[in-house]
């Protein structure tokens, strides 16, 4: 089992970047619902939650426990949510950038200061203008701030999709949270699409 560490954060702190923001998103690939990005800032190893790792490697119970602890112990955190209509309008790359920018803005507002450096999961994301930013493949697996952000983003998005399930129960959003599973595609074939489906995505576009 791979657990993230804070070696990169410590290296950046030593280089003078005191406020290092870890960024990650959840919901790039689903056919329905929002994309959610989160940012987390820590300043000390004492703020590390031992069970945190890439959110995809954690159980839902672990994620929910970690979610509360991350929000309690981190210096600051922020969550940005961009809905399906805006994803259709902007395209998914720019929608992810928008969600990350919102998360960043919330963090800076809480800190009442600028972030010095951003570390983010995934090399193929767009850069946030005017910030020093390192984009890292499997960043959510390796670096604690990004892993913590991945947990906040995943839990937030899952909870949103569970809420949507109560409004649109025929699609099974409580099980697949909008991803293109067999069950979801069969429901679309049977019932058509609902308001939170991404009309720009295949196969919804058809």
Report pLDDT for 2. Answer: 79
The owner of tokens 């959003």 is 173
The owner of tokens 């999709």 is 161
Q: Express each pLDDT in 161-190 by its tens digit.
A: 999 999 999 999 999 999 999 999 999 999
Report pLDDT for 1. Answer: 76
The owner of tokens 């030593």 is 14
Report pLDDT for 71. Answer: 98
Closest CA to 204 of 183, 180, 171: 180
**Tokens matching residue 166:** 């109560």
The owner of tokens 């259709």 is 88
What is the Cα–Cα distance from 86 to 97, expressed in whole angstroms?
12
Give me the chain's average pLDDT, please. Answer: 97
Report pLDDT for 189. Answer: 94
pTM of the entire predicted model: 0.96
| All structural domains of the chain | 7-155 (3.30.420.10)
Closest CA to 6 of 36, 50, 39: 50
Report pLDDT for 18. Answer: 97
Residues of the chain with pLDDT under 50: none
Report pLDDT for 127. Answer: 97
**Tokens matching residue 157:** 């998005």
């Amino acid at each position: 089992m791979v657990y993230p560490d804070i070696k990169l954060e410590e290296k950046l702190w030593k280089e003078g970047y005191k406020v290092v923001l870890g960024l990650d998103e959840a919901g790039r690939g689903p056919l329905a619902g929002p994309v959610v990005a989160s940012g987390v800032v820590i300043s000390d190893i004492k703020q590390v939650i031992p069970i945190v790792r890439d959110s995809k490697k954690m159980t839902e119970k672990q994620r929910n426990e970690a979610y509360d602890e991350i929000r309690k112990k981190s210096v600051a955190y922020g969550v940005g949510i961009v809905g399906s209509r805006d994803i259709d309008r902007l395209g998914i790359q720019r929608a992810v950038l928008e969600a990350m920018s919102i998360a960043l803005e919330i963090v800076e507002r809480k800190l009442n200061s600028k972030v010095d450096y951003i570390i983010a999961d995934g090399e193929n994301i767009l850069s946030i203008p005017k910030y020093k930013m390192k984009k890292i493949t499997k960043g959510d697996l390796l670096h604690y701030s990004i892993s913590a952000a991945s947990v906040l983003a995943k839990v937030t998005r899952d909870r949103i999709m569970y809420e949507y399930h109560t409004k649109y129960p025929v699609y099974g959003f409580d099980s697949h949270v909008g991803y293109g599973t067999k069950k979801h595609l069969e429901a679309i074939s049977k019932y058509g699409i609902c308001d939170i489906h991404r009309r720009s995505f295949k196969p919804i576009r058809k």
